[in-house]
Amino acid sequence: MATFVLVHGSWHDGTLWADVADRLTERGHEVHSPTIAGHGPGASRAVTHDDCVASITQYLDEHSLGDFVLVGHSFGGSVIARVAERLPDRVRRLVFLNAFVPVNGTSVLDNTPPAYQELFPQLAAQTTDDTVMLPFEVWREAFIGDADLARAEETYRLLTPEPLGPTVEKLDLTKFYSLTHIPRSYVLCGEDAALPPGDPDHGYLANARRLGVFRLVTLDGSHEVMFTNPALLATKLELAGRD
């Protein structure tokens, strides 16, 4: 049995893995799903990407975790890449779930298509705390198109504003790209239109290919399959996470 550490993406917090975590726990695994600094209800949004990373490494230290499968969803991909830089000997495998694998020296937002690169700073400029809330229509269509409307609305209410800062910081991932001895998997959800599907430069597989040698695991489902099909996702994370 494995230890899974699930790192959420933008607008999420660690509690939103609950349905997936339950399935993995039922199957005998140990599961942790910490909340990234600057995320979740009530947290201050004044954080850097380093703060995000440090909040996860601190959690791992406090819980004395080693030899874990480190899963990152979406923005969480940029976090687990940098957690691996700091704790390379404790990561058994990296699993990227429709996640960013940023080009070295770029920000997460740099790795999105031009429309988001324009939209997010505009949305943040309208707030007092430099945060971005995803418009509901984008959530409903591009992120969770496989839910019915009621479920899309219900899950939207669970989201909290994303601090813009960590998504626009340029990330030095030189060390990450040297850690080729850590096995890595990419889990691809086939009905995810949050990033432009099939885009040769900005699509999910463009991110996956930056991993070099990797395992590819596919499933039906949207970007938010942890809400729409947690049982299937748990099964796929298990396949992605095994040795």
DSSP tally for the chain: helices H, then strands E: 11, 8
206 scored as a contact of its own copies (CB under 8 A): yes
| 1 forms part of the interface with its own copies (CB under 8 A) | no
CA distances (Å), origin 194, targets 75, 159, 190, 191, 230: 12, 16, 11, 9, 18
H or E, element range at 235: helix 230-241
Determine if 145 is a binding residue for its own copies (CB under 8 A): yes
Residues 108 and 71: their CA atoms lie apart, in Å, by 17
Look up residue 233 and give its two tokens. Answer: 């996702």
179 sits near its own copies (criterion: CB under 8 A): no
199 touches its own copies (CB under 8 A): yes
* Given 10, 33, 55, 74, the catalytic residue: 74
Q: Answer yes or no: 44 catalytic.
A: no
DSSP-derived pairing of the beta strands 3-7 and 68-73: parallel
Binding flag, residue 8, its own copies (CB under 8 A): no
Cα(first)–Cα(last) distance of the chain, in Å? Answer: 11
Do residues 220 and 80 lie in contact, with contact meaning Cβ atoms separated by under 8 Å?
no
By CB under 8 A, residue 192 contacts its own copies: yes
Site string for its own copies, 208-237 (x = CB under 8 A): xx--xxxxxxx-x-x---------------
Minimum distance from residue 135 beta carbon to its own copies (Å): 8
Would you say 79 and 53 are in contact if contact means Cβ atoms under 8 Å apart?
Answer: yes
* Whole-number Å distance between alpha carbons of 137 and 229: 21
Instruction: Please pick, from the candidates 138, 168, 179, 232, the single residue that binds its own copies as defined by CB under 8 A.
Output: 138
Give 160 or 207: the residue with its C-beta nearer to its own copies. 207
242 binds its own copies (CB under 8 A): yes
Residues 6 or more apart in contact with residue 220 via CB below 8 angstroms: 146, 189, 190, 191, 229, 232
The dihedral through the CA atoms of 146, 151, 152, 155 has a sign that is: negative
177, 197, 232, 235: which one contacts its own copies (CB under 8 A)? 197
Q: How far is the CB of 69 from its own copies (least distance, A)?
A: 14
Q: Closer CB to its own copies, residue 52 or residue 194? A: 194
Cβ nearer to its own copies, comparing 122 with 128: 122
Query: By rule CB under 8 A, what count of residues binds its own copies?
Result: 40
- Positions marked catalytic: 74
Interface positions with its own copies (CB under 8 A): 115, 137-138, 140-142, 145-146, 148-149, 183-186, 190-193, 196-200, 203, 205-206, 208-209, 212-218, 220, 222, 239, 242-243
